[in-house]
Amino acid sequence: MAYFDAASTEPLHPAAKAAFLSTLDEAWADPARGYYDGRRARMLLDAARETVASVLGTRSDEVSFTTSGTQAVQLGMLGVLAGRRRVGAHVVVGAVEHSCVLHTADTHTALSEQRGIAAEITRTRVDRSGRVDVSAFGAALRADTALACVQSANHEVGTVQPIAELVTLCQSAGVPLLVDAAQSVGRMSLPDGWSVLTASAHKWGGPAGVGLLVVRKGTRYVSPLPYDEREARRVPGFVNVPAIVAAAVALGAVGTESADEDRRLSGLIDRVRTRVRETVPDVEVVGDPVERLPHIVTFSCLYVDGEALLTELDRAGFAVSSGSSCTSSTLTPSHVLEAMGVLSQGNIRVSLPRGVAEAEVDRFLALLPGLVAKLRAVVAHEPAPSVARDPFVVDALGKRCPIPVIELAKRILDVADGDLVTVLSDDEASRLDVPAWCEMTGHEFVREEVRERGSAFVVRRRP
């Protein structure tokens, strides 16, 4: 199988696997114990911490190992918020953060409410490439802002965030900045000046079960969890030394290799960006083409069902992910694509693992146009929604993505330039995809009118 979902999890680095195996034999004992086996585990744990600190450019006593990147985000956010309760309960986050950041912000709101305090979360806007708007971020920082959070780079579209500018803004405002560096650790270094960093080892080629929570000296932090003396009192539970050692070895290894391999992956991603645009009609390749991670690209194909495209690719032996609404358990499109205002239907994220074969990427590029055409032919031949009396109204109520947009695309051909077509849809994806379709096709998106059932999307035909 051609595995193109490295942004979800990177396969275990061979050096990490070797280290894991030997550490399972040598350092399985509790590193808190004073006997020989315990001391040996402790020494390996300390060495792993030094490796990580050295790669990140921090002190080793600022590094705690968590059990996942998600846990690191939860603890980092709630710990700083608990430490800065006197300052306030306001939180600033980017609109395209990982869902665990947004969910933790929700939990902060709920916990504050239980304490009789009204917390406020400001999600700052991003541009069409997914880049956080620096001035909006700066304007959101207030005297009662307890924490600001931003990712180093986006996990769905690869766009790198302007961390240096955001650090400067947070420093002038006296607000600690948490950087969710899950997608970038092991691939690019960060400018200094952040207060908390979180990351996840299985994203850089380490094993599952290890995350990083780095809290710089001078950052007020109060653990949100019950007392436990391990990991600087930040992460409860038995310390998983073999996995941590493997994670550190992977980080050291990818750090050494990464410049060349990242250049190669970046070239392959450029090839995907270009070739998909050339060979697939009605496609939107999104994310910043230059200021991006080396290994990630996302594109959306008009008039295609994302779930069906995933299935066809799986049959053909490709593992990719999608931000389309039909691939989500909630039937809502990816909040990242939504915040960017880009098309979400027929969405595919390709994220290349280290060492991926160029030939696999080329096979994908050769196959994709045919698969997309096949799926478009299928939906084009599906029965049309019940014809509304009004020829200017497309009644797509009860129809799921991509049908409403397909019916709109058909109907627009039947009306004159300047005429209005109204699409009735109760599919959440239409909110995003009807305007995105207008943007792509040159028609004018006039407005959305919320109705009792769903919305009416009004579109003006342009030449």
The correct pick among 227, 417, 442, 452 for binding a copy of itself (CB under 8 A) is 227
The correct pick among 15, 188, 319, 379 for binding a copy of itself (CB under 8 A) is 319
Min dist. Cβ of residue 199 to a copy of itself (A): 12
Q: Is 438 a catalytic residue?
A: no
CB-wise, 181 or 421, nearer to a copy of itself?
Answer: 181
The correct pick among 18, 143, 189, 238 for binding a copy of itself (CB under 8 A) is 238
Q: What angle do CA 110, 112, 113 make, to 5 degrees?
A: 65
- The reply to whether 299 sits near a copy of itself by the rule CB under 8 A is no
The correct pick among 237, 267, 370, 418 for binding a copy of itself (CB under 8 A) is 237
CB-wise, 119 or 405, nearer to a copy of itself?
Answer: 119
Question: How far is Cα 429 from Cα 325, in angstroms, rounded to an integer?
Answer: 6
- The reply to whether 318 sits near a copy of itself by the rule CB under 8 A is yes
Question: How far is Cα 130 from Cα 118, in angstroms, rounded to an integer?
Answer: 29
CB-wise, 368 or 459, nearer to a copy of itself?
Answer: 368
Instruction: Render the burial of 212-246: b for 16+ CB within 10 Å, e for the rest.
Output: bbbbbeebbbebbeeeeebbeebbeeebbbbbbbb
Min dist. Cβ of residue 330 to a copy of itself (A): 9
Number of amino acids touching a copy of itself (CB under 8 A): 64
Count CB-CB contacts under 10 A for residue 285. Answer: 18
Long-range contacts (CB closer than 8 Å, 24 or more residues apart) made by 100-108? 100/69, 100/70, 100/73, 100/74, 101/73, 101/77, 101/149, 101/151, 101/180, 102/335, 104/73, 104/74, 104/77, 104/78, 105/77, 105/149, 107/74, 107/78, 108/77, 108/78, 108/81
Which backbone phi and psi does 39 adopt, to 5 degrees?
-65, -35
- The reply to whether 29 sits near a copy of itself by the rule CB under 8 A is yes
The correct pick among 15, 26, 37, 341 for binding a copy of itself (CB under 8 A) is 37
Instruction: Render the burial of 85-94: b for 16+ CB within 10 Å, e for the rest.
Output: eebbbbbbbb
Query: Cβ neighbours of residue 240 under 8 Å, at least 6 residues apart?
Result: 65, 67, 209, 210
| Strand-pair category, 2-3 with 318-319 | parallel
Min dist. Cβ of residue 291 to a copy of itself (A): 27
- The reply to whether 74 sits near a copy of itself by the rule CB under 8 A is yes
Q: Which two tokens stand for residue 189?
A: 């270094």
The correct pick among 14, 18, 28, 43 for binding a copy of itself (CB under 8 A) is 28
Q: What is the distance, to the nearest Å, from the Cα of residue 30 to the centroid of all Cα atoms in its chain?
A: 35
The correct pick among 57, 118, 217, 329 for binding a copy of itself (CB under 8 A) is 329
**Interacting residues with a copy of itself between 194 and 213 (CB under 8 A):** 200, 202, 207-209, 211
Per-position x/- string for 125-154, each x denoting binding to a copy of itself as judged by CB under 8 A, each - no binding: ------------------------------
Residues of this chain that bind a copy of itself (CB under 8 A): 1, 3, 5, 8-9, 11-12, 17, 20-21, 24, 28-30, 33-38, 67-71, 74, 100, 103-104, 106-107, 114-116, 200, 202, 207-209, 211, 225-229, 236-243, 310-311, 313-314, 317-321, 327, 329
